Amino acid sequence: MAKKFVGERVPRVEDQRLITGRSQYVDDIVRPRMVYAAIVRSIYAHARLKEINVEAARRAPGVIAVFTGEDVREAIGPVPVASQLPDLKIPRHPVLAVEKVRYVGEPVAVVVAEDRYQARDAVDLIEVEYEPLEAVVDPERAIAEGAPILHEEFGTNVAFVWQLSGGDIERAFREAEVVVSQRMVNQRVIPVAMEPRGVVAEYHPGEGQLTVWTSTQIPHLLRTQLAAMLGLAENRVRVIAPEVGGGFGSKLNVYAEEALVGYLAMRLGRPVKWIETRRENFLSTIHGRGQIAEVEAAVKRDGTVLGLRYKIIQDVGAYHQLLTPAIPTLTGLMATGPYKIPNLHVQVIGAFTNKMATDAYRGAGRPEATYMLERMMDRIARELGLDPAEVRMRNFPQPDEFPFPTASGLAYDSGNYPQALRRALELVGYEQLRQEQQVLRQQGRYLGIGISTYVEICAIGPSPALPFGGWESATVRVEPTGKVTVLSGASPHGQGQETSFAQIVADELGVGLSDVRVIHGDTAIVQYGIGTFGSRATAVGGTAVYGAVQKVKEKATRLAAHLLGEENVANVAFEAGQFFVKDRPERRLTFQDVALAAYLAKSLPPGMEPGLEASYFFEPSNFTFPFGAHIAVVEVDPETGDVHFRRYVAVDDCGRVINPMLVDGQVHGGIVQALGQALLEEAVYDENGQLLTGELTDYAIPKATDVPWLETDRTETPSPVNPLGVKGVGEAGTIAATPAIVNAVVDALAPLGIRHLDMPLRPEKIWRAIRGA
């Protein structure tokens, strides 16, 4: 069937409410008799909780209740961790601290008052007596002898040791002609979704139901966990993710406040709202990255990489959040990147530190892998006197080698890596740039060209690989009028699937885009789903929609055949929204006619159920592996260390594209978050565990003026994993761009003998490196 919508730059259907201010985020929800919660948080990174005096707060105007950890420890279960690793140390993680606090920002008490101003006032009246303990913030120190222990029951700050091997790493190093090694720090960064977290909870005693509106990426998974934490039956908990103002992984979690506010609503019999401040968002919403690695590559003089050895220390933070331990395992799985590197060893040590937990932040473990490897490819090229593009070309698997097995045990679905890199090199005018670079160097100017070729693991993912299911669900419900309602288990929050799913459905059913409505994010309306993360919503969730719509079409076609008096269903065609018998095209039934007939049920084929809807749970057989090549061109001001962008070229291959405009948007946003990590962002804690970058005044995320024009292009290699051929694109930019930018800066400084700099590449760091060179 001709595609009217799929593949087109269709403007988003969700935008009308967003651009007119008519959308509803959590803080926009008002319930009758609603009260407000505010949280008292630890000001120490590590301390014993002695006494908490709440009397003054209880007496303060408007205050309804105050609870401490002791008050709720029996009533609310611990914050869950879903990931499993061998010998994983899982400390109890109470929703309000009990006995000890282990990071600045850890919830200690909660106040509920009639309005938000009164709740905030009462926070200041709560006196908490702490006995400060020595804190440990540096993960390397945390796992060394004599470090203060966060969780005494373990006697160590080592949360886990995880290893992955493929091939014969010892042999690779024996056969190496050159060994290149580099220590690299992938600094801790903070997601900073523009909408902070927030929760509204309301208990309906008549139905025994708790409704929780929360800014989440995973309403169903959260419902299951909340029910367990609060001791409720899962079918008595309704989680609604209303409009969600950005997540980037930071809302792919189960947070203490979500259970706590639910508890308060039940306990107090009034709806309760809690809205995170930006300061709280910095302190107590998950952070990302936080890896220190020693990387060694065994290489031949021609640039062939024989093997890679990684020793990684993952900064865990004080407790695990939902997926904390799983993140560095994704680093390990992707450690050989888009290259044929047959031998691999990865060791990851997780270290508890007196800081907020790290967890999934856009890319989640994969940007770390790509960063290390792409830095290494440049290091190898330099060491061997080869062109960095050439070294990459030499190590790529060829298109006919797919599915391509990796040393980490994955099977890359499809790809054409040389094509993507060639395209990027052409677009940027690589040869000419290299010549210009030579000329400028003679003039004392520092032009740098940074290449990053990447492959990512997306469409997460097959269920056996996940702590929860890795499938996604969809229901396609055709209403009697022929309008179509799609219920998706994915939970998009800006990615635009209300549009891309409608594009898929409209094309399949021959209806208009506005005839399709996509509903998601309400567990009382939508069948169980997994959620939106890991670049999975279109590749897995979209495929579920596609699967459901095929079932609907199949049933509608059978009904149409019956209504048209044709016994052989195969003779019935469905084109442009109309059914007809192939050799008798004059008599036609519209899709709407058939929908109505399905509900009127006056004449159904024997055995056919009335109605016209179908659900489909799509279980992917594999991940997908989008890939591409990014090239950054920068000039470094040798006097100040400032980095100025000249060009930024991105060639991405995310398989088949449903909506090119949305894909561009995802790529742009991803690149700019990567730019933030490469040049600006770092969560800085002082030695006592105080977060020094705890407000937007001190933590710089990119502004419009920090960003160059991004030149995007694509190649399109369909994925064989799903019938749509899509791979996913939500994280590509974040994964690809960080090393491209760092490689460009280091390349600019190459004449000075500078081989590596750790991020963020702020001007002072570059200036110091230049001065020290």
Preceding amide of 739 cis, omega within 30: no
Question: Using the rule CB under 8 A, which residue among 1, 439, 525, 692 binds another protein?
Answer: 692
Contact status: 374 vs another protein (CB under 8 A): no
Question: What are 739's two structure tokens?
Answer: 């090393």
Nearer to another protein by Cβ, of 38 and 351: the residue is 38
The verdict on 31 binding another protein (CB under 8 A) reads no
Stretch that binds another protein, among 144-152, 234-242, 263-271, 758-766 (CB under 8 A): 758-766
Nearer to another protein, 192 or 308 (CB): 192
State the nearest-atom distance from the C-beta of 430 to another protein, in Å. Answer: 23
Asked if 200 and 215 count as a contact pair (C-beta separation under 8 A), the reply is: no
731 binds another protein (CB under 8 A): no
Q: Which is nearer to another protein, 100 or 273 (CB)?
A: 273
728, HSE (Cβ side, Cα atoms, 13 Å): 30
Which listed residue (672, 732, 740, 759) binds another protein by CB under 8 A? 672
3-class secondary structure per residue, 287-339: EEEEEEEEEEEEECCCCCEEEEEEEEEEEEECCCCCCHHHHHHHHHHCCCCCC
The region of 10-18, 89-97, 168-176, 467-475 touching another protein under the rule CB under 8 A is: 10-18
Q: Is 165 exposed, middle or buried (0-12, 13-18, 19+ CB in 10 A)?
A: middle
Tell me: does residue 21 bind another protein (CB under 8 A): yes
Give the single-character DSSP code of 519: E
Q: Which stretch binds another protein (CB under 8 A): 8-16, 426-434, 459-467, 738-746?
A: 8-16
Among the listed ranges 80-88, 532-540, 658-666, 749-757, the one in contact with another protein (CB under 8 A) is 658-666
* Cβ atoms 310, 346 nearer than 8 A: yes
Nearer to another protein, 11 or 585 (CB): 11
Give the phi and the psi of residue 361 in degrees, each rounded to 5.
-125, 130
Of 408, 407, 355, the closest CA to residue 687 belongs to 355
Q: Binding another protein by CB under 8 A: which of 23, 165, 485, 688?
A: 23
Q: Which residues ranging from 245 to 274 are in contact with another protein (CB under 8 A)?
A: 245-246, 248
Using the minimum distance from each CB to another protein, give the nearer residue, 77 or 196: 196
- Residues 148-177, interacting with another protein (CB under 8 A): none
**Is residue 704 near another protein by the rule CB under 8 A?**
yes
CB of 368 to another protein, least distance (A): 20
**Where does this chain touch another protein (CB under 8 A) — which range of 337-345, 382-390, 492-500, 538-546?**
492-500
The answer to whether 328 contacts another protein (rule: CB under 8 A) is no
CA distances from 751 to 5, 377, 389, 748 (A): 51, 18, 18, 7
- Nearest approach in angstroms of CB 699 to another protein is 6
Minimum distance, C-beta of residue 451 to another protein, in the bound complex (Å)? 20
Residue that has been written with the tokens 């149409």 in this structure: 560
For another protein, give the closer residue by CB, 143 or 766: 766
Residue with tokens 């670049």: 535
Nearer to another protein, 245 or 461 (CB): 245
Shortest spacing between CB 317 and another protein, in angstroms: 21
Nearer Cβ to another protein (388/494): 494
- Which of 1, 18, 524, 773: binder of another protein (CB under 8 A)? 18
**CA–CA separation, 428 and 649 (whole Å):** 7
Distance CA 675, CA 742 (A): 9
Q: Which of 81, 306, 710, 745 binds another protein (CB under 8 A)?
A: 710
CA–CA gap between residue 601 and residue 736 (Å, rounded): 54
Cα angle 56, 58, 59 (rounded to 5 degrees) comes to 65
CA distance 429 to 440: 16
Give least dist CB 275 to another protein, A: 8
**Is residue 288 reached through a cis peptide bond, with omega within 30 degrees of 0 on the bond before it?**
no
> Hey, which residues between 610 and 639 contact another protein (CB under 8 A)?
639
Binding string, 176-215, against another protein, x = CB under 8 A?
----------------xxxxx-------------------
Q: Can residue 1 be called a binding residue for another protein (CB under 8 A)?
A: no
Among 28, 436, 619, 713, binds another protein (CB under 8 A): 28
Q: Judged by CB under 8 A, does residue 494 bind another protein?
A: yes
Q: Residue 514 interacts with another protein (CB under 8 A)?
A: no
Q: Is the dihedral of CA 272, 103, 315, 702 positive or negative?
A: positive
Q: What is the C-alpha R_g of the chain?
A: 28
Q: Is 614 left (phi over 0), alpha (psi -120 to 50) or beta?
A: beta
Number of residues in contact with another protein under rule CB under 8 A: 77
SS3 category, 535: coil
- Beta-carbon neighbour count of residue 463 at 10 Å? 13
Binding of another protein at residue 95 (CB under 8 A)? no
Closest CB to another protein among 558 and 668?
668
**Binding-residue pattern over the window 277 to 316 for another protein, x denoting contact by CB under 8 A:** xxx-------------------------------------
Q: Which residue has the tokens 């008549």?
A: 206
The one among 106, 202, 243, 653 contacting another protein by CB under 8 A: 243
Which among 127-135, 383-391, 410-418, 493-501 is the span making contact with another protein, rule CB under 8 A? 493-501
116 binds another protein (CB under 8 A): yes
Tokens of 109: 């008490």
Task: Return the range that interacts with another protein (CB under 8 A); candidates 15-23, 144-152, 173-181, 341-349.
Answer: 15-23
Least Å from the CB of residue 116 to another protein: 7
Q: Does residue 27 belong to the site contacting another protein (CB under 8 A)? A: yes
- Per CB under 8 A, the list member of 355, 423, 493, 536 interacting with another protein is 493
Question: Measured from the CB atom, is 338 or 694 closer to another protein?
Answer: 694
Which residues on neighbouring strands pair with residue 295, listed in sequence order?
Answer: 182, 310
Give how far Cα 305 sits from Cα of 68, 239, 477, 616, 637, Å.
56, 49, 52, 44, 34
CA neighbor of 672 nearest in space, from 708, 638, 641: 708
**CB of 62 vs another protein, minimal distance in Å:** 12
CA distance 39 to 96: 9
Among 207, 698, 751, 773, contact with another protein (rule: CB under 8 A): 698
Q: Which stretch binds another protein (CB under 8 A): 126-134, 204-212, 234-242, 705-713?
A: 705-713
User: Shortest distance, CB of residue 24 to another protein, whole angstroms?
Assistant: 7
**DSSP letter assigned to residue 685:** B
Shorter beta-carbon distance to another protein: residue 7 or 403: 7
Q: Which of 684, 750, 752, 757 binds another protein (CB under 8 A)?
A: 684
**How many Å apart are CA 679 and CA 666, to the nearest integer?**
20
Q: Which residues of 680-716 are buried (b: 16+ CB within 10 A; e: fewer)?
A: bbbbebeeebbbebbeeeebbbbeeeeebebebbbbe
Q: For residue 24, state whether it binds another protein (rule: CB under 8 A).
A: yes
Q: Which of 6, 671, 744, 759 binds another protein (CB under 8 A)?
A: 671
Ordered DSSP codes for 370-428: HHHHHHHHHHHHHHHT--HHHHHHHHPPPGGGPSEE-TTS-EE----HHHHHHHHHHHH
The residue from 2, 20, 32, 432 that contacts another protein (CB under 8 A) is 20
Q: By CB under 8 A, what part of segment 402-441 binds another protein?
A: none
